[in-house]
Amino acid sequence: MKEANALHIAIIPDGNRRWAKAHAWHPWQGHEKAIENFRSITDWCHADPRIAVLTVWCFSTENWKRDPQEVTKLMTLLENYIQKERPTLQKKGIRLVHSGRKDRIPPSLAALIKTVEDETAHFTELAPNPSAASGAGFTLHLAVDYGGKDEILRALQKSLSSKLTAPSSLDSDPIHEHLDHPELPEIDLIIRTSGEMRTSNFFLWQSTYAEWVFLEKHFPDFSTEDLKTAVDGFTKRSRRFGS
In the predicted structure, residue 211 carries a pLDDT above the cut 50 = yes
Which residue has better confidence, 163 or 104?
104
Q: What pLDDT shows up at residue 166? A: 52
- Report which of 228, 229, 222 is spatially closest to residue 30, judged by C-alpha positions: 222
Mean pLDDT over 133-147 rounds to: 82
With a pLDDT cut of 90, the percent of the chain lying above it is 79
Residue 161 domain-assigned (yes or no)? yes
Residue 65 domain-assigned (yes or no)? yes
The residue segments making up the domain with residue 135 are: 7-235
Residue 240 domain-assigned (yes or no)? no
Q: At 178, which CATH number?
A: 3.40.1180.10
Residue 243 domain-assigned (yes or no)? no
Please list the active-site residues.
14, 63
In the predicted structure, residue 140 carries a pLDDT above the cut 80 = yes
Which residue has better confidence, 49 or 243?
49
Q: State the Cα–Cα distance between residues 202 and 186, nearest whole angstrom.
A: 13
In the predicted structure, residue 173 carries a pLDDT above the cut 90 = no
Q: What pLDDT shows up at residue 26? A: 87
Residue 2 domain-assigned (yes or no)? no
In the predicted structure, residue 97 carries a pLDDT above the cut 70 = yes
Q: What pLDDT shows up at residue 131? A: 39
Q: What is the mean pLDDT of the chain?
A: 90
> pLDDT digits over 34-50, tens only?
999 999 999 999 999 99
Q: State the Cα–Cα distance between residues 34 and 78, nearest whole angstrom.
A: 11
Residue 1 domain-assigned (yes or no)? no
Please give the DSSP secondary-structure letter assigned to residue 220. G
List of residues 6+ apart from 137 with CB closer than 8 A:
1, 2, 6, 52, 124, 126, 130
Residue 242 domain-assigned (yes or no)? no
In the predicted structure, residue 135 carries a pLDDT above the cut 70 = no
Domain count, the chain: 1
Residue 74 domain-assigned (yes or no)? yes
